[in-house]
Amino acid sequence: MRSSILTSKRAKALRREMTEPEVMLWSKLRQRMDDGLIFRKQHAIGPYILDFFCPKARLAVEIDGVVHSDEDQIGHDLRRDWWLGQQGVSVYRISASAVFANLTEIAHGVRLRALERTREEAWRNRGNAGG
């Protein structure tokens, strides 16, 4: 799904203004591995900007800081996750504190989740190919 010009410009600005846990995780996710997964940072999709996105797995990765425990923000996140789900995008939320505490394990877990999603998508598409 395409994003508005304004959302795309905001995503571009956010790429230069990433939070510390986002920078930390990006340092791991941007590395090319044998798994063939490619991640994008601050990726615009529809009206939203995702912290990280793996197109092959249709996986959004969101780093949640303290603000995400606010009642209004929780409601916004639920609506956002629902909308993304309607677009076939799965959302994987990680607390900022977990990134600080276990960066290597978190990055490994993100890659595993993306690989699982890739396999699920391949399985679903294989079933649909038979018509």
Q: Note the pTM of the prediction, 2 decimals.
A: 0.82
85 compared with 128, residue with greater pLDDT: 85
- If pLDDT is split at 50, 70 and 90, which confidence band does 5 have? confident
In the prediction, which pLDDT does 68 show?
Answer: 56
pLDDT tens column, 64-116:
986 656 677 788 899 999 999 999 999 999 999 999 999 999 999 999 999 99
Question: Of the candidates 58, 62, 61, which has an alpha carbon nearest to the alpha carbon of residue 119?
Answer: 58
How many H-runs (helices) and E-runs (strands) does the chain carry? 5, 4
Q: Are strands 59-64 and 48-54 parallel, antiparallel or unpaired?
A: antiparallel
In the prediction, which pLDDT does 71 show?
Answer: 72
Question: What is the residue extent of each domain of the chain?
Answer: 5-129
* pLDDT for 8 beyond 90: no
Cα separation, 107 vs 28, whole angstroms = 6
In the prediction, which pLDDT does 130 show?
Answer: 56
Q: Which CATH number fits domain 5-129: 3.40.50.300, 3.40.960.10, 3.40.1260.10, 1.10.10.10?
A: 3.40.960.10
In the prediction, which pLDDT does 58 show?
Answer: 95
128 compared with 63, residue with greater pLDDT: 63
Sequence-ordered alpha helix ranges (H) in 4-102: 5-16, 20-29, 71-86, 96-101
